[in-house]
Structure 1
């Protein structure tokens, strides 16, 4: 394994090509380019600013912002100062912000682009030194621009060893307050090895950074960007998202299943499902149509495509494959520094699986079919939590909490999480994820959550994509067909009593999704607990009709 740390690669690149473009940041629809020299020298100045506050090696410094060039520059600066970065999601609520700041023992916080300032205003204590990025944000003690002007570049930046702590990355916390995952520079180097090798990342490739840098998937790519001189484009906001992708024309693109479903719904709403299906079946016209769709999405230059964070319906994967977009489903966790297995190189035979383990790790199944993992990717401990660390390791193997099977090709297929399975009134366990995956075969379904702890049968909550005309005859018929099709594939105790169409989507803002867009099952269950108060009819129900 190449144990070269991000900083070593950064300074090597700076020495070799200081004037080469590195970051591209849109501000009010104008693109601003940061060269390698700009990035390194700004990081050195911010590092000097941290030293000037009297902070010491190992001190924890928080970053809370949506993705931007300054986010990564600050991460570099914290490492140059010999300190440890602690990211917080830009969408985090008050309790999470307060918990991470207190639990990590943070000495300062950098605050940048936020969709809402309310939580940050309430949760960040005045006693904590705050530094604002050069965007509209909460009022801070210090400003980024002032530090850049006031401090000279640090003369002797700290150059970390592979074993040094790089970050404390807090999990998204689907069931409880997030735990602090301690990751080393070796963990990140190992993660970079995997991505560069399997995705064949080339010098001069282009990437668009929009998945939260706080999330380990995006964060682990920073080492890839540096080692392969990847030009990084950032997005300005949700409204400019597609335009920013088109401008960047990335050579690789990964997302979460929900966004892939949104893209799919947009295409279908503009072309029509039947019309598109007919056109794609025509040899020449099909290729032209697929190419136009990829270009409209800004993905015409992409060689590789990925999806993670949650299972993706095989029908959706097959749909994209027809467009010349073979999506590699990958799997990983904060505790594995991101990608730990993937369907890469892409194999149609392994569609719907998470593929095979990365070359530098070992994976196996426990007697209870839980995925166990060990290797250079795997974290060392939960910060200040010996009990959780001990509970999650067995004989040197990390217990992932994911339940899986292994296919005949050696690929792993996740069937759910141990904590998510529930027992119905019949005393039998139900794993919700496989059932939800079957529901996603209906292209009208954007979100799904199967519930039923203590109930006579499971039920499904679904959110339809925005292109659907609610209660339209064809929508109702398609859902009825889906319910019948899903139940025909399930054992009697797994079969759904009904599908309820929810009036509103589940979002980070209404606290039904984590910052990484995972469904908070316990919160969804509490939100819809009234459903189980009375006997409900079978079939397709609409939330607005039940209140």
Structure 2
């Protein structure tokens, strides 16, 4: 275990270390069109990073950029994303990652709010619509995997590297220097720019590796947005700290093949994808038959092995989940398969390093204990979880008044989450302080625990419990495509409805009378990033759900039917 008193090793120092010590080791594996795969060694990563850093320095001199100028990255995950980030830092600038699914208005807001001087435009599905959000005249650089129109508009990475001499030596940045602005995906309002220093990242990674030890021989698949704090810390900075190999996903259509190719030893995902894995298994092996087979000694071992191999997780020694609550039943299901999932808790404001369950210990139903060096307490009045650590943000960019709302004078971060701590010191997140709503009976309801139970039906892909000023809460359910298709078949529809009625009864049996759901509303329209119903990490945007369906809630409640079909 690392001594917390030892000096921190910063990101660029890690790059130079691997450049010296492991120059020929392949570390980045980038899929190209078709079945092609382009692998980068540490020497190649460092060389292209140095050349792009030199280009950015020249661009900054030519255009009169200030010290610490912001440079944006708009791309899906790829090798060039990571090298862009490193080049921005090496050149003396600050990176501003953008989610690759943002609307043009949000792109423009972030670029203008951050005063970004240039942008890397990389691998994107909807660039034709997005480009309206990039201010005219902004300098841009494209990747070899960028859309053709972006490559025509902006000079290509390879062309720049071919003509540019690399930065020499080992330029460093200070621990207190601003490294990046992480614009929150946010479940409410416009995104805020969370400021983090190089020292924040270095401390967060050291604390994380004490809980989840990783090494050079580990492998990860990078597929969740690198603009998100978890992927940034767990993938980018753990890669730099350990020297492990990274593989990138090509697309949703190739995700299974990408996972099989990577054979990750560490795999992190959000609850919605873990649920999809489970539903995929149940589609081929019904739950009752699976449970029967798992109880048979030799057969159970073979079934577990076959399922994990089919998922591409047979080599996985550390599985983790987070970004939203993990349903207890889902965690227990994967534990039965021999793949216990460590559930983590954190936020952009603390680099996602707050709590995580301890590998090898069954702390199901909690987010475990704090990382070493993290202080926590629960406010005795509001029940809100407060925490502080050396990984706390410097504040929100250009928004000191909002910073003061969440960081108090003693340095405590007010998380906005309600929590309880058990006798083991494990923390259970019980809901959002502001998500509580009051029914017309004057009773408060915390939706998160109900949603955990509700979302465990195999037909449900996402859900939200709403009901402010209604007599009883309602459950809004987004059905998965297979279940939605059953609506048009009389027999299949009847079976689905019977199953969901039984599920409603089972959920309500565990709730107090004022919490019990008056009805389930079945919705077939997907909840996507594009329509604003979920964030890029697939967390439900509750305000958007209430905005979109608010006018119908009272009518659904007055129908007094246990099941209703919505749009």
1:159-190 Cα distance to aligned partner (Å, 9 max, x none): 01111111010111211001110001111112
Find the residue that maps to 1:426 and give its secondary structure: coil
2:103 matches 1:98: no
* Farther-moved stretch of structure 1 (440-449 vs 159-168): 440-449
2:413 matches 1:398: yes
Change (3 A) 1:103 1:90: same
Deviation at 1:460, TM superposition (A): 0.6
Deviation at 1:444, TM superposition (A): 2.6
Find the residue that maps to 1:528 and give its secondary structure: helix
Instruction: Name the CA distance, whole Å, in 1 between partners of 2:227 and 2:221.
Output: 15
Instruction: Name the CA distance, whole Å, in 1 between partners of 2:366 and 2:261.
Output: 32
Which position in structure 1 is the counterpart of 2:58?
52
1:490-510 Cα distance to aligned partner (Å, 9 max, x none): 222222110111022211122
Ranges of 4+ aligned residues in structure 1 off by more than 6 Å: none
Q: Which of 495, 498, 514 is the aligned partner of 2:516?
A: 495
Change (3 A) 1:341 1:240: same
- Could you tell me which runs of 5 or more consecutive residues in structure 1 were left unpaired when the two chains were aligned: none
For residues 53-202 of structure 1, the aligned pairs below 5 Å read 53=59, 54=61, 55-137=65-147, 138-139=149-150, 140-156=153-169, 158-202=171-215
Which position in structure 2 is the counterpart of 1:420?
435
* Farther-moved stretch of structure 1 (485-494 vs 94-103): 485-494
Instruction: Name the CA distance, whole Å, in 1 between partners of 2:438 and 2:171.
Output: 53
* Farther-moved stretch of structure 1 (28-37 vs 113-122): 113-122
Find the residue that maps to 1:190 and give its secondary structure: helix
For residues 434-473 of structure 1, the aligned pairs below 5 Å read 434-468=449-483, 469-470=486-487, 472-473=493-494
Change (3 A) 1:503 1:465: closer
Which position in structure 2 is the counterpart of 1:430?
445
Verify the 8 A CA contact 2:216 2:245 in the aligned structure 1: no
Which position in structure 2 is the counterpart of 1:23?
28
Instruction: Name the CA distance, whole Å, in 2 between partners of 1:83 and 1:338.
Output: 23
Which position in structure 2 is the counterpart of 1:289?
303
For residues 306-455 of structure 1, the aligned pairs below 5 Å read 306-348=320-362, 350-367=363-380, 368-394=382-408, 395-455=410-470
* Farther-moved stretch of structure 1 (358-367 vs 138-147): 138-147
Instruction: Name the CA distance, whole Å, in 2 between partners of 1:10 and 1:541.
Output: 56
Deviation at 1:57, TM superposition (A): 2.6
2:291 matches 1:277: yes
2:264 matches 1:241: no
Instruction: Name the CA distance, whole Å, in 1 between partners of 2:180 and 2:144.
Output: 24
Change (3 A) 1:465 1:281: farther
Which position in structure 1 is the counterpart of 2:498?
477
Instruction: Name the CA distance, whole Å, in 2 between partners of 1:89 and 1:334.
Output: 14
1:342-386 Cα distance to aligned partner (Å, 9 max, x none): 1122422x2021111000211111121111011112112111101
Verify the 8 A CA contact 2:16 2:170 in the aligned structure 1: no
Deviation at 1:467, TM superposition (A): 3.7
Instruction: Name the CA distance, whole Å, in 2 between partners of 1:326 and 1:474.
Output: 32
Q: Quote the RMSD (CA, aligned, Å).
A: 1.4
2:277 matches 1:263: yes
Instruction: Name the CA distance, whole Å, in 1 between partners of 2:332 and 2:197.
Output: 38
Instruction: Name the CA distance, whole Å, in 2 between partners of 1:223 and 1:522.
Output: 33
Find the residue that maps to 2:385 and give its secondary structure: strand
Find the residue that maps to 2:343 and give its secondary structure: strand
2:561 matches 1:538: yes
1:130-187 Cα distance to aligned partner (Å, 9 max, x none): 1111123243332212211121101255301111111010111211001110001111
Which position in structure 2 is the counterpart of 1:299?
313
Instruction: Name the CA distance, whole Å, in 1 between partners of 2:67 and 2:325.
Output: 40
- Could you tell me which runs of 5 or more consecutive residues in structure 2 were left unpaired when the two chains were aligned: none
Instruction: Name the CA distance, whole Å, in 2 between partners of 1:122 and 1:346.
Output: 49
Which position in structure 2 is the counterpart of 1:41?
47
Deviation at 1:95, TM superposition (A): 2.1
Verify the 8 A CA contact 1:169 1:216 in the aligned structure 2: yes
Instruction: Name the CA distance, whole Å, in 1 between partners of 2:146 and 2:90.
Output: 27
For normalisation by structure 1, the TM-score amounts to: 0.97
Which position in structure 1 is the counterpart of 2:19?
14
Verify the 8 A CA contact 2:10 2:175 in the aligned structure 1: yes
